[in-house]
Structure 1
Amino acid sequence: MFPFEYHIPTKIMFGERKINQLGEVAATFGKKAMLVTYDEQFVKSVGFYAKAVQALNDKHVEVLPFFGVKSNPTVELIREGVKLAKTEKPDVLIAVGGGSVMDTVKALALGACTDADVWDIATGAAQATGALPIVTVVTIPATSSEMNCTSVISNDALKRKEGFVNPLMYPKVSILDPELTYSLPIKQTAISAADIVSHLMEGYINHNDPWTPMQDRFAQGMIKTVLDCMDRLLKNPNDPQARATMMWVATFAWNGFYVCGIGPFDAPIHMVGHSFSAFYDTPHGSAMSVSIPGVMKFHLKERIEKYSIFAKEVFGIAGDINEKTAQAGIDALVGWFKKIGVPTTFAEAQMPTNELDAMADDILVTAAHWGIKTYTKEMVLRLLQLCL
């Protein structure tokens, strides 16, 4: 067990109809809230925007709406939000949506309190000097952004996707109301499930500590829980128990808890998948369901024991600790991705294959930013071939 420090300053409010308390929460920060969310027509058609606005109006909190967040949030839109926030001076920023909206708000919160460009903050070229308070209302559980200090944003002009961490980006309060997910289409739910699994797999399969039973079993159990939730949701997309459980699993998949004590680890699943989204605007979860099998196949021979245990514990595959069992675990995960309807290859994700060389360069830029020194360009190109 490696030494670690763990601190999450975010208050969680979990349960049905908790969105009704949004106004009460926002009012603790002031009387003006900037509410950030997706396309205006979409959010007004599904109902959660009206619920959020009503809760704020009930507590006499002025609402400053900011629409337009995409599945891969862009720095271009965030810059517009920063300009609006500096002009209108809201007391609090409220994200109503999934990871893309929350990540937008996090970057916007920093940008509103500094003269530096948001992209420079994301790349480390500039430092944030403060942040507006953040409240999140989760409508698409997938990224754990409601309980971490990470933001992932894209720069369309540069075809780059950048993930960065800053303690100032921890939400003050996050509202997890499972009812808000009942109307989420099963396709989007499946993409979110793949995203959750990617977070649970990242630390689990990529660390090098030979004995981490607590962390490994936590990851295994949470992955099995996602599988169980999706089995129920494929039968009944409005299953309240499955919706609530998957929402809570998503929050803990990447909030730093289960990786405590495992020591440093690379993050090749996201290192590779980020480039898929940067190049082709592939939804994050879909990018992950393509990158996970490729990464696992690439490292198969050096991780036979880890993958064999994964196969046995998560999918109940019988067999000894050997390459056959390890490969069966990969095949079972790919089979599950196909079952829930998410892509596992470039072709299934409708991503072209004519930019692999440029993509490999982009992946290595991400690797350098994240301190990952394990991969050469030749290795990355071989890994990409396993994703085709």
Structure 2
Amino acid sequence: MRQLVYLSPLPWASFAQRPHKFVEWFHATTGGRVLWIDPYATRLPALRDLRRPSAGASGATVNRPKWVTVEGVRALPIEPMPGGTFINRLAWRAVAERVARFCAAEKTLLVIGKPSAFAFDCLEHANAARSAYDSMDDFPAFYTGVSRAALARVEERIAAGVDRLLVSSTALRARWQTLRPDARLIYNGLDPGVLPAADVAKLARLGDGQPKIIGYLGTMGPWFDWAWLTALAKQRPNDAIRLIGPVFSQPTGALPGNVRMLPPVPHAEALKAMREFDIGLIPFIRNQLTDGVDPIKYYEYRAMGLPVISTGFGEMRLRGNEPATFLIDAPDQLGGAVDAALRCRASDDGIAAFREANSWAARFDASGVLE
């Protein structure tokens, strides 16, 4: 493959996640150009949209290499309605033609990171040499009503039509097992090149009885378990609970005084802030939204040598036997879990091995999308 069209589930101007790492891997592997398509609204508007933080509140920085071209899709938020896609095709005609011309120039891989009517049109008409759908979430579960039903239909058509179906968790693989038994499980990962060195000397002092920093790095959305977090803070009043990231879902009550909420910062700064943590947290509610999630922050915490305390959601539910990983759903057990986590020890060799084994390059090399 000489080129890539990537239909992304998130804008280029956002924290670098799996989509960004995929296009970086593609370019590093092939030297090819990338046409990145930012997402558009595929559901009907909702009142909660008025309460969402602004796009600039993510703390993300924008750094676009010369080999990446970013395009947007003009569309009204009417896709689930009868006739909505027909109307939107008039609006997105120019970018659809741009994708087709790009695919005609050289042998091109089309990767769909978010299901949509536009994505299906590209799959059907852009004439890419090869195609893949990277199923990173149970996307319909984020929607309700006609929006959920419409997205589920178009997602199934895309999954059936692509050459390769990738999934990021065992739950997503099970979801597609009947339609695509050939789905390939490609877990999330980490980028060793952007991670600061772990402070192994500090980690060796975890059990010294001094107050610790128990931290969370990431978005706090509807999946964030504030009750769990509050219980932890109350059981560890001498420790600092530090939360870094955008807040999409506010806590329902007052938080204990040892909880400090910090605004989002660029990813490089966030990773440096993680270096100050003594324990990493992943307090997600267990529901349909999180069943298919393989949290990137797990890999980043462990790659920094941190012990992890998490609820047993998504892919985390299978990691109870992993080193320095504690799955706690009962709030009254959180204090003891912290004590156990503080007895864990990290080593430079162990951290280096974890980083190499779980790198994005290792993940995508195994995807088979370039075969």
Look at both structures and tell me which one has the larger radius of gyration over its CA atoms.
2
Q: Which has the higher helix share?
A: 1
